[in-house]
Amino acid sequence: MKRDVYAHLLKWKHSKDRKPLIIKGARQVGKTYIVKQFAKNEYKNIAYINFEQDPNLINIFEENLKPDRIMEEISIYLEKKILPPVTLIFFDEVQECPKALTSLKYFAEEGEKFHVIAAGSLLGIKFSQKFSFPVGKVDLLDMFPMTFMEFLSGMGYELLEKHLVSKNNFNSIENLFHEKLKYYLKLYFLIGGMPEAINKFKDSGDIKKVRKYQQSLLKTFEFDFSKHTSKQDAIRITNVWNAIPKVLAKENKKFTYSEISKHSRARDYYGAIRWLLDSGLIYQSYRIKVLKLPAKAYLDNNIFKLYFLDVGLLGALLGLSGKIILESNELFQEYNGAFTENYVAEELSAMGFNDLFYWASKNSAEVDFVIPFKDTFFPLEVKSVASKKKKSLKVLGEKYPSFALSRATMMNFKKDGRIHNFPLYGLSLFPKLITNFDSSSEKLVK
């Protein structure tokens, strides 16, 4: 399936100052698949080393870390000739061999000679631990589940995706396409962005098979909690993991430790949250006190929201059926805000907005996301239903009159005074579409 990250891989390959590339991301987001496809299309061959499948390969890195020696021994072991630079060298599940990560700094010193990519599902955990990480000697690339645009393409709706991507104004799109995209978005809420889940539905159309895969993947994540941490830490990580859906289902989605237990304390669970973040399984959004740059200088470290890696996995954890989601009945409405806000957090993260923030005033007005972009902020209010209410956004707009305001709803594209309405299916155009929108009635802070 087509992935947006492919363009980043091409840019890396042809970069004059290319370094070994490390791809981070949770299990099953498609790291191995896309690197193998990239090698197939762009290189003569690939030297594939998977340290989880074949632990014997770890022994090669127990001696000195000279690249020529390592490549010679790998070539013999794989019975495959490695021909720099037409061979792509791929270290997969590299977190199982820390010395292979350390060796990347020596590959970097070889310059153009070797093209090396390393990937792993728990690399963020390794980075947070004490070991010889090649700081400044590697390029880093984060990988996420498939976005809604990638989902459209992967499901075979490429023309509809291209029609949406080509949009350059806030005129409403044709109602026929609008209704189709709304339905496909609900389908995405059900299936999510994990490539295997999408493939299973595309091949069979059987939601039960999708849910079975999602449940299996959730168990794999929970197995990682105990495999890579102490028993006490695994319990705390699991407690946080299970508390997130309960918090998201509430009107106030601020994460509170009381959702775990009455006597839970931040100091006991800080490490658990950090572990989930480092493993790529959750996203975090901090409340920001004042909308000034740099945003990190004004956030409140103690007030934040947590979101799931993937909206499809969120539905699986909640045990919601396809019928509930697709028909959007009363039970789905109860969780609709949770799905929608989680979806927006996913999309924004995949778009490169690595730091998420939200804003709240003293009089309880709250705007779900405020995105630093092009030396200003772009506030974004999220609504799960096609509501015209925008009190919180207006409160923020009065306080910060120079900001361009936006809403993400189930309504069509529309420009209403200062407020830009993005249909949830068109979120990938936020906020770029605003910066390209020429209006004498609005002035963006430069």
Of 82, 109, 142, the last residue of a domain is 142
Query: What is the distance between the alpha carbons of residues 337 and 179, in angstroms, rounded to a whole number?
Result: 20
Q: Is 444 inside a domain boundary?
A: no
Residue 332 shares a structural domain with residue 402:
yes
Check: CB of residue 271 under 8 Å from CB of residue 238: no
Domain housing 13: 5-142
Query: What is the distance between the alpha carbons of residues 26 and 24, in angstroms, rounded to a whole number?
Result: 7
Of 78, 108, 142, the last residue of a domain is 142
Q: Is 445 inside a domain boundary?
A: no
The total of structural domains in the chain comes to: 2
Exposed/middle/buried for residue 44 (C-beta within 10 Å: 0-12, 13-18, 19+)? exposed
Residue 27 shares a structural domain with residue 170:
no
DSSP 131-185: S---TTSSEEEE--S--HHHHHHHTT-HHHHHHHHT--S-PPPPHHHHHHHHHHH
Residue 135 shares a structural domain with residue 175:
no
Q: Is 440 inside a domain boundary?
A: no
Q: Is 175 inside a domain boundary?
A: yes
* pLDDT for res 136: 82
Q: Which CATH number belongs to the domain containing residue 117 in this structure?
A: 3.40.50.300
* pLDDT for res 166: 93
Of 100, 120, 142, the last residue of a domain is 142
Residue 113 shares a structural domain with residue 260:
no
Sheet (strand 282-288) strand order: 299-308, 282-288, 356-360, 366-367
Taking residue 204's Cβ as centre, other Cβ atoms within 10 Å add up to 11
Residue 84 shares a structural domain with residue 67:
yes
Q: What is the largest distance, in Å, between two alpha-carbon atoms of the chain?
A: 69
Residue 135 shares a structural domain with residue 177:
no
Residue 375 shares a structural domain with residue 420:
yes
Exposed/middle/buried for residue 63 (C-beta within 10 Å: 0-12, 13-18, 19+)? exposed
* pLDDT for res 408: 95
The residues near 228 (Cβ < 8 Å, ≥ 6 apart) are 122, 125
Helix (H, G, I), strand (E, B) or coil at 366: strand
Query: What is the distance between the alpha carbons of residues 377 and 375, in angstroms, rounded to a whole number?
Result: 7
Residue 54 shares a structural domain with residue 161:
no
Residue 309 shares a structural domain with residue 246:
yes
What parts of the chain have a pLDDT lower than 50?
438-446
Sheet (strand 419-423) strand order: 369-373, 376-382, 405-409, 419-423, 414-416
Single-letter code of the amino acid located at 104: L
Residue 336 shares a structural domain with residue 190:
yes
Residue 403 shares a structural domain with residue 339:
yes
Residue 183 shares a structural domain with residue 217:
yes
CA-nearest of 11, 9, 33 to 145 is 33
Query: What is the distance between the alpha carbons of residues 412 and 415, in angstroms, rounded to a whole number?
Result: 10
* pLDDT for res 438: 46
